[in-house]
A and B are shown apart, each in its own frame.
Chain A
Amino acid sequence: MQIKINGDTEEVSDGCSIYQLIQQLDLTGKRIAIELNCEIVPRSQFPETILNADDRIEIVQAIGGG
């Protein structure tokens, strides 16, 4: 199925959890925060949050800024 990650369309397997997604993206253990369809998903809920087709995921991190 297709979902949007940070604005780009990506293919993920059916039943994929956010935990599995961040593993696939090599982001495990990184300081990130995730929004699923504009709602924050707490880190503790990554394993049980299952993605659906057309979900919109935002993965953010801190960067340099004023």
Chain B
Amino acid sequence: MSDTFTIDGKTYQSRLLVGTGKYRDMAETEQAVAVSGAEIVTVAVRRSNMGQNPDEPNILETLPPEKYTILPNTAGCYTADDAVRTCRLARELLDGHDLVKLEVLGDQKTLFPDVVQTLQAAETLVKDGFKVMVYTSDDPLVAKQLEEIGCVAVMPLAAPIGSGLGIRNPYNIRMILENAQVPIIVDAGVGTASDAAIAMELGCDGVLMNTAIAEAKNPILMASAMKKGIEAGREAYQAGRMPKRLYASASSPIDGTFF
């Protein structure tokens, strides 16, 4: 039986979502995304640099929307207004495609979300017909509020964006999962494959990452490792792990010993 997950009515095989920033060039981006097996890729919306590097391929030529679900993000926005404006431009850019990643930051040093602005922007965007996947803190109450507003996925951070510190508060993630009726995707903070596996073992529906792959010494190999980490963690979650015990439990039978 195939193990798929669904966001806004569309079914995906891969539970790994990847960002496309920080790569050396477009060729490396393309290869890393391909090897990761990701079907959902985030992009940023920025001023077009007219005249400069006219020959450099556009990200949407490298990663065509016919092949990938393009998830424009509002990274770099510090107010609800800027985030809403960015989403509207992205929708125009992508011919009406209305799935977006909402991210409203509160502080340049931590890149933690400003949850007040995030809630405001989420409300405006949902009313405007957007399908919102929302980056937020690992606060279970805020996660629930974002779901109630109508976000199609809630994406708590594991640790600060780009920090690679891994899942800092698995207990909060578990509480978020317990209350959730929409997909929960860990977004940000993953550093290596075991971090991705831990997120999936907790029962998350997916993991979104960028820096962990792009800043690895060998990004292509790390993309492959992340794919496997996600799959291993998912299977372990479905298999149901053995209980932890304080003392040993022999693996070989006691009966039939001849000594």
A pairs with B: yes
> How would residues 4 to 31 of chain A score, 1 for a CB under 8 Å from any chain B CB and 0 otherwise?
0111000000000000000001110011
Q: Which residues of the other chain, B, contact A26 by a CB distance below 8 angstroms? A: 50-51, 54
Decide: A33 and B92 in contact? CB cutoff 8 A. Answer: yes
A30 touches B58 (CB 8 A): yes
A64: contacting residue among B22, B51, B209, CB under 8 A: B22
Q: In whole angstroms, how far apart are the Cα atoms of A33 and B93 in the complex?
A: 5
> Which B residues touch A27, using CB under 8 A?
48, 50
| CB proximity of B56 to chain A, nearest CB, Å | 10
Partner of B92, one of A43, A63, A64, A66: A43
CA distance A65 to B23 in the complex (A): 9
User: Which of B51, B54, B93, B162 is close to A62, meaning CB atoms less than 8 Å apart?
Assistant: B93
Knowing A60-B45, A62-B59, A64-B23, the reply to whether A33 touches B89 (Cβ < 8 A) is yes
CB-CB < 8 A to B75: which residues of A?
Answer: 65-66
**Cβ proximity bits B52-81 to A, threshold 8 Å, 1 near / 0 not:** 001000111000000000101101000000
Judged by a CB distance under 8 angstroms, whether A53 is at the interface is no
Q: Chain B interface secondary structure, helix, strand, loop or mixed?
A: mixed
B: contact size bracket = 35 or more
In the complex, residue of chain A having the shortest beta-carbon distance to the beta carbon of B54? A26
Minimum CB–CB distance from B112 to chain A (whole Å) comes to 15
Distance in angstroms between the alpha carbons of A66 and B60 in the assembled complex: 15
Output the nearest chain B residue to A35 by Cβ-Cβ distance.
B89
Cα distance A64–B93 when bound, in Å?
15
B44 interface residue (CB < 8 Å to A): yes
Size of interface on A: residues with Cβ below 8 Å to B: 25
Complex: chain B residue closest to A43, CB-CB: B92
Check B48–A64 contact: CB distance below 8 A.
no
The answer to whether B72 and A62 have CB atoms under 8 Å apart is: yes
**Closest CB-CB distance, A5 to chain B, in whole Å?**
8
Contact A65 B44 (CB under 8 A): yes
Q: Does B36 make an interface contact (CB < 8 A)?
A: no
Contacts of B47 in A (CB 8 A): 6-7, 58-61
State in angstroms the CA–CA spacing of A5 and B29 once bound together.
Answer: 29
Flag whether A32 is at the interface (Cβ < 8 A).
yes
Chain B residues at the A interface, C-beta cutoff of 8 Å: 19-23, 26, 29, 42-48, 50-51, 54, 58-60, 70, 72-73, 75, 85, 88-90, 92-94, 161-162, 188, 209-211
Identify 17 residue pairs between A and B in the complex whose beta-carbon atoms are under 8 Å apart, listed by A's number.
A26-B51, A26-B54, A27-B48, A31-B94, A60-B46, A61-B47, A62-B93, A62-B94, A63-B45, A63-B46, A63-B59, A64-B19, A64-B20, A64-B29, A64-B44, A65-B20, A66-B21
